[in-house]
Amino acid sequence: MAEILPKQTNSQPLRCLVVDDEPVAIKGVVNFINQLDFLEVVDTCTSAMKATEILKVKEIDLMFLDINMPMLSGLEFLESLDKSPLTILTTAYSAHALEGFRLNVVDYLLKPLEFQRFFQAANKALDLFQSRIVLQNTKEGSDSDMYIRQGDTFRRIIWEDILFVEGMQNYLKLHFKDKTFVIHQTMTSLEEMLPKDSFFRIHVSYLINIRKIDAISGGRVFIDGKQLPISRHRKEDLLKTVVYIKLISK
């Protein structure tokens, strides 16, 4: 039976960076942030280039990012980052909403910003931040235990038992042999936490446990009766990884 832990909370407010080429827009976001005790402004800037420098030297948990900026747009900037903080996009245009969610943003706010929507987005960011899976390293050196947030509790799971992970915007489905858990987590952050020698990203929406593969055929991976698509440019790397795992497991 899975172990249930008491709800854990983040005692420190989320450290925020506001990026917008319009000073008035920055002032509005900062004003909203100051209304919420679980957020704090660490810095602000008016370009993606300056934001890049800030991210190198300061710890940022949440970024409010404008899309339409000169030289480098918010989306281009976000895509250029190897590792980005949780991000809420702000813009006067709705045309790039789908592109934003492809990049795993927390939410998409249309200008002029309304506090109710801002509050909803900020709470979603807080929930995602607090729901990040924590690897449990015991004194014996075991790292197979993980804790996922389920409502107001943290549930213990064994990552080795995960068959595959399915991405759904800012939610993930963790598929096991006989159960499925839905968690508030981005695929990128989960991928960083799981062992690289056991898990492989075969598609933008699928992360698989290599050791659970039953077969690979054409552009599909078969796991426990499920067919999962492989991105064309990732198939060769997957095959190399599978062969490597088999060699070191002998």
pLDDT in tens, 198-213: 899 999 899 999 999 9
Query: Nearest-5° angle of CA 56, CA 148, CA 189?
Result: 25
Residues 150-202 pLDDT 10s: 766 778 888 899 999 999 877 899 999 999 998 887 888 788 888 888 899 99
Q: Is the pLDDT of residue 49 over 50?
A: yes
CATH topology for the 12-131 domain: Rossmann fold (3.40.50)
Higher per-residue confidence, 243 vs 91: 91
Q: Is the pLDDT of residue 247 over 70?
A: no
Q: Is the pLDDT of residue 133 over 70?
A: no
Where does 160-249 sit in CATH, by number? 2.40.50.1020
Q: What is the pLDDT of residue 135?
A: 39
- The pLDDT of 19-24, averaged and rounded, is 96
Q: Is the pLDDT of residue 6 over 70?
A: no
127 confidence band (pLDDT: 50, 70, 90): confident
Higher per-residue confidence, 57 vs 242: 57
Distance CA 241, CA 202 (A): 11
Q: What is the pLDDT of residue 101?
A: 59
Distance CA 230, CA 216 (A): 9
State the residue for tokens 């801002």: 118
Burial letters for 45-61: b for 16+ Cβ neighbours within 10 Å, e otherwise?
bbbbeebeebbeeeebb
Q: How many CB atoms lie within 10 A of CB 114?
A: 12
Distance CA 115, CA 163 (A): 41
Q: Lowest-confidence range among 58-62, 64-68, 141-145, 212-216?
A: 141-145
Q: How many CB atoms lie within 10 A of CB 124?
A: 16
Q: What is the pLDDT of residue 140?
A: 38
Q: Is the pLDDT of residue 250 over 60?
A: no
The answer to whether domain 12-131 and domain 160-249 are alike in fold is: no
Cis before residue 6, ω within 30 degrees of 0? no
pTM summary value: 0.58
- The pLDDT of 54-77, averaged and rounded, is 92
62 confidence band (pLDDT: 50, 70, 90): very high
Residue 193 contacts residue 135 (beta carbons within 8 Å):
yes
Q: Is the pLDDT of residue 239 over 50?
A: yes
Q: What is the pLDDT of residue 241?
A: 77
Distance CA 62, CA 70 (A): 22
Where do the domains of the chain lie?
A: 12-131, 160-249
Helix (H) or strand (E) holding 180: strand 180-184
What tokens were used for 121?
């987005």
Q: What is the pLDDT of residue 246?
A: 52
Q: Are strands 164-168 and 39-45 parallel, antiparallel or unpaired?
A: unpaired
Q: Is the pLDDT of residue 2 over 50?
A: no
